[in-house]
């Protein structure tokens, strides 16, 4: 798999509960733009409307701005391709537990562009601070272990 975009902020802002793989409906020049690495998933989210999943607020700038249609919107809503049972499951989970659907990463799998979406729960500020402290402690412990090995040998 070739990764095209990763939403790094999602892991910090949300607690990931479950992930799903979805196809995405794109136009030809959007595919070229995505394959050249020009996509931004930060701030985007997924909604379910009329028994279909939609990706909102993802930015795909045009591959060649002069050859792009004049009415092209880089942040347009794009349809996600999921199976009907998956959509119903996501809809029920989202409504009952108050969860959010967010995109995690976009990649190429078998010559098709896929989007990994997650059912996630938003973290509060205190949880984010705790996560930062935990990461800092782990980093310091790793440095200490490396220093200890260096001094021994």
Polymer length of the chain: 153
Q: What distance in Å separates the CA atoms of residue 145 and residue 95, rounded to the nearest whole number? A: 46
Average pLDDT value for the chain: 88
Residue with tokens 């790094």: 8
- Closest by CA to 77, choosing from 103, 46, 42, 115, is 46
Per-residue tokens: 108: 């190429």
Per-residue tokens: 45: 């989210």
Check residue 108 and give its pLDDT.
92
Do 101 and 47 contact (CB within 8 A), yes or no? yes
Q: What distance in Å separates the CA atoms of residue 60 and residue 34, rounded to the nearest whole number? A: 7
Do 61 and 74 contact (CB within 8 A), yes or no? yes
* SS3 assignment, position 49: strand
Check residue 149 and give its pLDDT.
81
Check residue 109 and give its pLDDT.
93
User: How do residues 17-48 score in pLDDT, each as one tens digit?
Assistant: 999 999 999 888 888 888 888 898 888 999 99
pLDDT < 70 stretches in the chain: 153
Per-residue tokens: 62: 């045009």
Q: How many CB atoms lie within 10 A of CB 63?
A: 17
Per-residue tokens: 37: 């690495």
Check residue 153 and give its pLDDT.
65
Contacts of 127 (CB under 8 A, 6+ apart): 15
Check residue 117 and give its pLDDT.
95
């Amino acid at each position: 798999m070739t990764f095209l975009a990763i939403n790094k902020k999602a892991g910090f802002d949300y607690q990931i509960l479950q992930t799903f793989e979805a196809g995405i409906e794109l136009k030809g020049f959007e595919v070229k733009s995505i394959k050249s690495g020009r996509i931004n998933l930060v701030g985007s989210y997924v909604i379910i409307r009329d028994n279909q999943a939609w990706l909102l607020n993802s930015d795909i700038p045009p591959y060649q701005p002069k050859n792009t249609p004049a009415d092209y919107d880089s942040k347009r809503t794009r349809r996600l391709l999921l199976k009907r049972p998956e959509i119903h499951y996501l809809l029920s989970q989202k409504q009952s537990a108050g969860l959010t659907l967010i995109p995690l990463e976009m990649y190429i799998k078998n010559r098709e562009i896929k989007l990994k979406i997650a059912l996630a729960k938003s973290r509060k500020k205190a949880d984010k601070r705790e996560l930062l402290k935990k990461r800092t402690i782990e980093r310091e412990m790793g440095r200490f272990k490396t220093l200890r090995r260096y001094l021994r040998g």
